Amino acid sequence: MRAQVTHQLPPSLPPLGLSRVEAAAYIGVSPSMFDLMVKDGRMPGPKRINGRVVWDRKRVEAYWAALPDDDSAQNNPFDQIDI
């Protein structure tokens, strides 16, 4: 009987490649929203390793950083109303 080999990274070493579901969770959106973001260029496309589709974590982070901030939260018109 062979011993099982586990391929797990230590918690201090995040993976370079993320599955579609992991990449979506990493940026805090659903997988279907992530698909839309990839399609419209807000997120990078995947790398292909044989039959597997993997997103580069560092590219996902770079695309995330390039997304515009929502400054509307700072310019809420209701903050200007005197009661």
In this predicted model, what pLDDT tens digit does every residue of 39-81 receive, in sequence order? Answer: 999 999 999 999 999 999 999 999 999 999 887 656 666 666 7
Strand order in the sheet with 47-49: 17-18, 52-56, 47-49
Length of the chain measured in residues: 83
pLDDT: which is higher, 66 or 4: 66
- The dihedrals phi and psi of 37, each to the nearest 5 degrees, come to -65, -35
In this predicted model, what pLDDT tens digit does every residue of 28-38 receive, in sequence order? Answer: 999 999 999 99
